[in-house]
Amino acid sequence: MNKEEIKEKFRFNPENYREAGNSDFELILSTVNSIVPPSEKFMEEAAVYCDSLCKPLGSLGVLENMYVRISGIFDGKIPRKFKKAVIVYSADNGICEEGISSNPQEVTERICHNILKGTSGLCRLSEFYGAEVFLEDLGVINDIEGHTAYKINRGSRNSAAGPALTLNEAIEGIAAGIKTAEKLIRDGYNLIGAGEMGVGNTATSSTVLSVITGNRSETTTGYGSGLTKEDYGKKIETVRKAAETNAPYKDVLDVMAKVGGLDICAMAGCYLACAAKKIPFILDGVISMAAMMCASLFSEQVKSYGFSSHRTVEKGARLTEELLEINPPLDLMMRLGEGSGCPPAMNLMEASVFTLGSMATFEDVAVDKNDYVDIRKGEKNHEENV
């Protein structure tokens, strides 16, 4: 399916859930309804400003694009320094009953404790780049003590045999993402990344993307944390089975409940909250891309506040990038998850703001801007004629 077909078929429709009129559902509705696009006026002004700086026009590429978007998000009042956070949403996945992961399910709990000790890959990258890490246990089989304020259940159900979550559990998961993001924003964080931890969550992400995009499981399913060729074939078949078992689907919320996971729900909620509060957020790998696809079907404008980090090797992420017109600035051949792509991308955004916010202008250096050819126009014309 193309973008318009996906939107038509899976766009969130509150009328499907009249019986779900609880406070969490109302929170989702109010969050979605408060999302507005970044300011076109301030983006246009920022673009003109970038072209006044003493450099070949457009020569800082992605850094300029970031600066323009950040200006629109913050209505021209770009922070000189970002307070950065990565929040990890953790939950076990019942689809693991199908034997689709090389890791035993208790690895979820162990990695959560490793994150809390500050010794995971995400944590070391975050310390290096000056971001803080938070963790919420939404559905780990064994409680991660001190981090269960938003605990919903102890693992989801096996989506290859029936719905992974009840409707209310999915709603609670999205609301948990909204609430935790809003708390970070109240505490002054103005650049947020969402990560995840849960064995089996590349399978749930692949299933979500397979259902929403209409692509076969072979196209949306990758190797995750690592599988033999035989086990990879089993994973593809399990994703197909889960997608077919739970059909038909009313809309995106129905998809998230039937074949998703609590981490995907919470990440989507986090993105919605950031967009509603006009705070930029960072995407990571395939699980975050599945969450972004879901969030965009609640509000198309949420994409305007999201910044991609790196190009992951997972198939489903590549597919989603194309559909959402997302072009990751980094290609680090990473596939760790946890939100590990967020800290380097946050640093890149800071570099954009620092560099473009402090460069000399053509006027400062007494250089004639007209001496430069705007090669962007030529590139655009060339692309149109190819």
| Backbone phi and psi for residue 201, each to the nearest 5 degrees, phi listed first | -80, -10
Strand order in the sheet with 306-307: 132-139, 84-91, 191-197, 281-282, 306-307
Token code pair at residue 46: 């920022």
Token code pair at residue 162: 């029936």
Given the residues 15, 338, 379, 384, the one annotated as active site: 338
Strands 191-197 and 84-91: parallel
DSSP 200-219: THHHHHHHHHHHHH---HHH
338 is catalytic: yes
Helix (H, G, I), strand (E, B) or coil at 288: helix
Residue 336 burial (10 A CB sphere; 0-12, 13-18, 19+): middle
Packing angle of the helix pair 286-298, 201-213 (nearest 10 deg): 40
- Spatial distance between the Cα atoms of 143 and 344, rounded to a whole number of angstroms: 30
Residues pairing with 306 in the sheet: 281
- Spatial distance between the Cα atoms of 68 and 327, rounded to a whole number of angstroms: 16
Q: Are 86 and 342 in contact (CB under 8 A)?
A: yes
Alpha carbon 24 to its chain's center: 21
Catalytic residues: 338
